[in-house]
Amino acid sequence: MWYGQTDVIQKVAVETFIESLNNDRDVNFEPRVAVAPAKKKSRKPPKINVKIATQVEDAKYSVGKALSRGSLAGLVKKATDGLPADTVAVILAAKDVKFSYYSHLLPKD
Protein backbone atom coordinates (compact mmCIF):
# COMPACT_ATOMS: atom_id res chain seq x y z
CA MET A 1 0.00 0.00 0.00
CA TRP A 2 1.21 3.46 -0.89
CA TYR A 3 0.07 5.73 1.94
CA GLY A 4 0.25 9.46 1.31
CA GLN A 5 1.80 11.36 -1.57
CA THR A 6 4.36 9.28 -3.50
CA ASP A 7 5.80 9.82 -6.94
CA VAL A 8 6.47 7.44 -9.81
CA ILE A 9 10.24 7.32 -9.21
CA GLN A 10 9.73 6.13 -5.63
CA LYS A 11 7.27 3.47 -6.75
CA VAL A 12 9.53 2.15 -9.51
CA ALA A 13 12.49 1.95 -7.12
CA VAL A 14 10.51 -0.07 -4.57
CA GLU A 15 8.95 -2.33 -7.22
CA THR A 16 12.39 -3.03 -8.71
CA PHE A 17 13.78 -3.89 -5.28
CA ILE A 18 10.91 -6.27 -4.50
CA GLU A 19 11.31 -8.03 -7.86
CA SER A 20 15.05 -8.40 -7.15
CA LEU A 21 14.23 -10.56 -4.12
CA ASN A 22 13.20 -13.42 -6.38
CA ASN A 23 15.69 -16.24 -6.44
CA ASP A 24 14.56 -18.11 -9.50
CA ARG A 25 18.00 -18.71 -10.98
CA ASP A 26 20.18 -21.70 -10.27
CA VAL A 27 22.76 -19.94 -8.11
CA ASN A 28 25.48 -21.64 -6.10
CA PHE A 29 26.77 -19.56 -3.21
CA GLU A 30 30.29 -20.61 -2.34
CA PRO A 31 32.15 -19.22 0.67
CA ARG A 32 34.56 -16.40 -0.12
CA VAL A 33 37.18 -17.68 2.32
CA ALA A 34 39.39 -20.73 1.98
CA VAL A 35 37.78 -23.81 3.48
CA ALA A 36 39.35 -27.20 4.04
CA PRO A 37 38.12 -29.51 1.22
CA ALA A 38 36.64 -32.01 3.67
CA LYS A 39 34.38 -29.35 5.18
CA LYS A 40 33.42 -27.52 2.02
CA LYS A 41 29.71 -27.71 1.30
CA SER A 42 27.77 -26.31 -1.58
CA ARG A 43 25.10 -23.89 -0.39
CA LYS A 44 22.08 -23.43 -2.55
CA PRO A 45 19.48 -21.01 -1.30
CA PRO A 46 15.86 -22.07 -1.56
CA LYS A 47 14.02 -20.79 -4.57
CA ILE A 48 11.57 -18.09 -3.60
CA ASN A 49 8.93 -16.19 -5.48
CA VAL A 50 8.15 -12.68 -4.29
CA LYS A 51 5.59 -10.75 -6.24
CA ILE A 52 3.44 -7.70 -5.89
CA ALA A 53 -0.07 -9.14 -5.82
CA THR A 54 -1.78 -5.78 -5.93
CA GLN A 55 -1.08 -2.16 -5.17
CA VAL A 56 -3.46 -0.01 -3.19
CA GLU A 57 -3.02 3.73 -3.08
CA ASP A 58 -4.24 5.99 -0.30
CA ALA A 59 -2.94 9.38 -1.39
CA LYS A 60 -5.48 11.29 0.72
CA TYR A 61 -4.28 10.01 4.13
CA SER A 62 -7.59 8.31 4.99
CA VAL A 63 -6.58 7.75 8.63
CA GLY A 64 -4.51 10.91 9.02
CA LYS A 65 -0.83 11.73 8.99
CA ALA A 66 -0.11 10.15 12.37
CA LEU A 67 -0.41 6.36 12.26
CA SER A 68 -0.95 4.26 15.36
CA ARG A 69 -1.28 0.56 16.01
CA GLY A 70 -5.03 0.75 15.45
CA SER A 71 -4.81 2.67 12.20
CA LEU A 72 -2.13 0.31 10.87
CA ALA A 73 -4.43 -2.65 11.47
CA GLY A 74 -7.13 -0.95 9.39
CA LEU A 75 -4.68 -0.15 6.59
CA VAL A 76 -3.43 -3.76 6.51
CA LYS A 77 -7.02 -4.95 6.20
CA LYS A 78 -7.61 -2.48 3.37
CA ALA A 79 -4.38 -3.51 1.61
CA THR A 80 -5.10 -7.25 1.79
CA ASP A 81 -8.86 -7.28 1.24
CA GLY A 82 -9.79 -10.18 -1.04
CA LEU A 83 -6.25 -11.62 -1.15
CA PRO A 84 -5.09 -15.04 0.14
CA ALA A 85 -4.55 -15.36 3.90
CA ASP A 86 -0.78 -15.77 3.49
CA THR A 87 -0.44 -12.36 1.83
CA VAL A 88 2.07 -10.05 3.48
CA ALA A 89 1.01 -6.42 3.53
CA VAL A 90 3.65 -3.75 3.10
CA ILE A 91 2.64 -0.19 3.86
CA LEU A 92 4.97 2.44 2.46
CA ALA A 93 4.20 5.85 3.89
CA ALA A 94 5.13 9.27 2.58
CA LYS A 95 7.81 11.17 4.46
CA ASP A 96 5.27 13.47 6.09
CA VAL A 97 3.55 10.56 7.89
CA LYS A 98 4.48 9.93 11.53
CA PHE A 99 4.30 6.58 13.31
CA SER A 100 3.32 6.62 16.97
CA TYR A 101 3.50 2.81 17.20
CA TYR A 102 7.27 2.91 17.81
CA SER A 103 7.54 6.48 19.06
CA HIS A 104 8.93 5.30 22.40
CA LEU A 105 12.02 4.02 20.54
CA LEU A 106 12.78 7.30 18.78
CA PRO A 107 15.28 9.78 20.24
CA LYS A 108 13.82 12.88 21.83
CA ASP A 109 14.36 16.14 19.92
- 107 falls in which pLDDT band (50, 70, 90)? low
Q: Are 75 and 19 in contact (CB under 8 A)?
A: no
Structural domain includes residue 68: yes
In angstroms, the CA 57 to CA 12 distance is 14
Q: Are 58 and 2 in contact (CB under 8 A)?
A: yes
Going by their DSSP bridges, the two strands 2-3 and 66-67 should be labelled as unpaired
- What contacts 48, CB < 8 A, 6 or more positions away? 21, 22, 23, 24
How many structural domains compose the chain?
1
Is the pLDDT at 103 greater than 60, yes or no? no
Range of the domain at 58: 2-23+49-105
Percent of the chain with pLDDT over 70: 71
pLDDT digits (tens, 9 = 90+) for 11-22: 999 999 888 887
pLDDT digits (tens, 9 = 90+) for 40-84: 566 776 777 788 989 999 999 999 999 988 888 899 999 999 999
